[in-house]
Amino acid sequence: MAGRTVGILTGGGDCPGLNAAIRAVTKSAILDHGWEVRGILDGYHGLITGRSRQLSYADVSNILPLGGTILGTSNKASPFAFSENGKEPSDVSDRAVENLKRWNIDALFCIGGDGTLSIARKMLSKFDRIIGIPKTIDNDLKCTEQTFGFDTACNFVTQSIDRIHFTAQSHHRVMVIEVMGRYAGWIALEGGLAGGGDIILIPEIPFSYDRIVDAVKERSKKGKRFSIIVVAEGAKPAGEDYAVKKIVKDSPDPIRLGGVGERVADHIEETTGHESRATILGHLQRGGSPSFFDRILATGYGIAAVSFAAKNMFGKMAALRNGDVVPVDLEEATSGLKLVTEDHKLVKAALSLGTSFGV
């Protein structure tokens, strides 16, 4: 196995823990196996356009606490639908494979969420030595108990709710906090539960404006002159569409959600007369230094992924199962999203505490 060169890329939205994973892959590859490591710049965009650089031990020293990714990322570029100079998207996957060959890469580590890893799964038909490492603040990847980035995001959401709680109580307002979560409500659910949200709205449980208003009024009757509502960006009323902020035409997933928090706040104020305000946490959830848990998780994923490559276990994703990092098939890991169910233990816990889900 000596003399092997491995590549690594980070795709999709950035999140805390990416540099911890890059560090783990690079150091483990160099120290445990004597391999060379090449970092591909800006995710699949760099793979397509042929931009990369060698990563040394020194390059990844002192990056553990850094947010973002030293390699850069892109959530627009796909080798199977790449738009150049304003032209219609086309399949340039053969060009991506040629670049891997030009760099003499024997194995490729793809760090990303559902979009990045779905592309990695598709790439297996042309380059079969790929291993996935799961990251996404949404925590919506199947086959793994948790993705890194999620813990840090939830910590920030909880801290933000704590801060907003004080001003809500002081001004007797309804405060709506919009968090990330397009199709999966894990951030809203866990961050909202930890922050003491009175109403939590998630994509998996379509809400009713009437039930939200009822919950606010009920709190008011009990002497609670304020309410905290935590809403995922993908939450929507039953029978209605998502709140779409804009369309990004050159992206594989062009819909950008946003604005449901404002809609909820406006409706409550118009209906009840209670002064209401909306705060959108947005990209603040992606930034900052990774938490203790995310550093350990990302490090464990990186080291395990390198061990899979050493055993020629390709077409796999590193997954957390019962405290251990184990290989699972990329095909299975990208076969659908891990969503909150109405009978999930945390939903039941929230209901037991009097939290409303707007139904």
Q: What is the DSSP letter of 291?
A: P
Task: For residues 30-54, give the mean pLDDT.
Answer: 97
Of the pLDDT bands very low, low, confident and very high (cuts 50, 70, 90), residue 253 is: low
User: What is the C-alpha separation between 22 and 150, in angstroms, rounded?
Assistant: 17
Q: Taking 90 as the threshold, does the pLDDT of residue 131 lie above it?
A: yes
Q: In the chain, how many domains are there?
A: 2
- Domain assignment present for 344: no
- Domain assignment present for 302: yes
Q: What pLDDT, on the 0 to 100 scale, is given for residue 254?
A: 65
- Domain assignment present for 52: yes
* CATH code of residue 259: 3.40.50.460
Q: What pLDDT, on the 0 to 100 scale, is given for residue 257?
A: 75
Mean pLDDT (the chain, rounded): 94
* Number of neighbouring beta carbons within 10 Å of residue 177: 26
Phi and psi angles of residue 174, each rounded to the nearest 5 degrees, phi first: -95, 120
Which structure tokens are listed for 166?
Answer: 């004080």
Work out the angle between the directed axes of helices 292-310 and 18-33 (0-180°, nearest 10): 40
Judge if 38 and 131 occupy the same domain. Answer: yes
User: What is the C-alpha separation between 90 and 92, in angstroms, rounded?
Assistant: 6
Judge if 199 and 83 occupy the same domain. Answer: no
250: annotated active-site residue: no
Of the pLDDT bands very low, low, confident and very high (cuts 50, 70, 90), residue 21 is: very high
* Single-letter amino acid, residue 133: I
Spatial CB neighbours of 222, under 8 Å, sequence gap ≥ 6: none
Query: Percent of the chain having pLDDT more than 70?
Result: 96
Q: What pLDDT, on the 0 to 100 scale, is given for residue 346?
A: 97
* CATH code of residue 326: 3.40.50.450
Structural domain of 257: 153-286
The tens digit of pLDDT for each residue in 325-347 reads: 999 999 999 999 999 999 999 99
Determine which one of 14, 42, 114, 138 is catalytic: 138
User: What is the C-alpha separation between 294 and 48, in angstroms, rounded?
Assistant: 30
Q: What pLDDT, on the 0 to 100 scale, is given for residue 316?
A: 98
User: What is the C-alpha separation between 70 and 305, in angstroms, rounded?
Assistant: 19
The tens digit of pLDDT for each residue in 48-91 reads: 999 999 999 999 999 999 999 999 999 889 999 998 887 888 99
Query: Percent of the chain having pLDDT more than 90?
Result: 87
Minimum mean pLDDT range among 60-74, 152-166, 231-245, 276-290? 231-245
Q: Taking 70 as the threshold, does the pLDDT of residue 248 lie above it?
A: no
- Domain assignment present for 356: no
